[in-house]
Structure 1
Amino acid sequence: MSRTTDQDEPQSQRATMVDKHVGQRIRERRLAMGLSQQQLARIIGITYQQAHKYERGQNRISAGRLFSVAQALATEPAWFFDGLGADNVVEELPPRQRMQMELMRNFASIKDEKQQEALSSMARLLAGS
């Protein structure tokens, strides 16, 4: 029989924070690549509901599954842990990086390819490249 002590509680809270952080990073990368949850789920062989739970941090993702997700999203598994500081504390994103993520999400939600191309051209012009 397993006993839960006060010392066990902080560990489970940290694990939950890590799970939520990894889930957020999966969502960020998926959106940046323009994939829906359904598409990602199909690629890695899970249900849409399971993908949703991973992204919300409700279900812990196994190492093997995280490796599959990383391959599907063309990144390294370690990328999902970027932003975790000492003692698994999630570091706040700088405002500029937060704005970039919002831009990626909004761009990925544009369904019309011509509108995406127009926005991309405008961004290149504004950037001066």
Structure 2
Amino acid sequence: MPHPVDIHVGGQLKKFRVLIGRTQTELAAALNTSFQQVQKYETGRNRISASKLFQAAQYLSQPVNSFFPEMDDAGPDEKNILSAETKIEVDLIAACRQMRNDERRDLVLKMAHAMNDECCSECVE
């Protein structure tokens, strides 16, 4: 089963190709591959390599990052790319960045240090 990111990248590839009026055969020639392979890229059935994606971006006059979903647009499966531990860390950082009050941020940091069994007493003073 294709990964949601591969499906998204493939959909972007097709969208940009159609927008400039190119066929799969023309894109395939630019990528030195077959139109069947381009079909597989566009559906997400095959992953496109970084070098092929770079070539495609140049041919389609698009920045490479335009092929990838924004973090806010990520579907539930895409958000699970991160390990559970890493996701907690990312969520904690995001929550701290949203805090406008420096004192509250400091309290969160002190609380995290205090909850760490290996932390020194200086961290919570």
Instruction: Choose from 67, 70, 78 the match for 1:80.
Output: 67
Rounded Cα–Cα distance in structure 2 between residues aligned with 1:49 and 1:16: 19
Rounded Cα–Cα distance in structure 2 between residues aligned with 1:40 and 1:26: 10
Instruction: Choose from 77, 89, 99 the match for 2:75.
Output: 89
Where structure 2 has 5 or more consecutive residues not aligned to the other structure, the ranges are 77-125
Identity of aligned residues (%): 38
Alignment partner, residue 56 of structure 1? 43
Matched, 1:16 2:3: yes
Rounded Cα–Cα distance in structure 2 between residues aligned with 1:38 and 1:47: 7
CA drift of 1:34 comes to 0.1
User: What do residues 15-46 of structure 1 show as CA deviations (whole Å, max 9, x unaligned)?
Assistant: 70000000000000000000000110011111
**4+ aligned runs moved over 2 Å, structure 1:** 83-88
1:93-112 alignment runs, 5 A limit: none
Rounded Cα–Cα distance in structure 1 between residues aligned with 2:56 and 2:17: 9
Rounded Cα–Cα distance in structure 2 between residues aligned with 1:88 and 1:63: 20
Instruction: Choose from 21, 25, 28 the match for 1:38.
Output: 25
Letter matched to residue 29 of structure 1:
F
Where structure 1 has 5 or more consecutive residues not aligned to the other structure, the ranges are 1-12, 91-129
Higher RCO, 1 or 2 (CA under 8 Å, sep at least 6)?
Answer: 1
CA RMSD of the aligned region, Å?
2.1
Alignment partner, residue 52 of structure 2? 65
Tell me, what secondary structure is at the counterpart of 1:51? helix
Alpha carbons of structure 1 residues 30 and 87: separation in structure 2 relative to 1, 3 Å: closer
Q: What number of residue pairs does the alignment pair up?
A: 76
Tell me the TM-score normalised to structure 2 length: 0.56
Alignment partner, residue 93 of structure 2? none
State which structure, 1 or 2, has the greater radius of gyration over its C-alpha atoms. 2
User: What do residues 41-79 of structure 1 show as CA deviations (whole Å, max 9, x unaligned)?
Assistant: 011111011000000000011111100100110111101
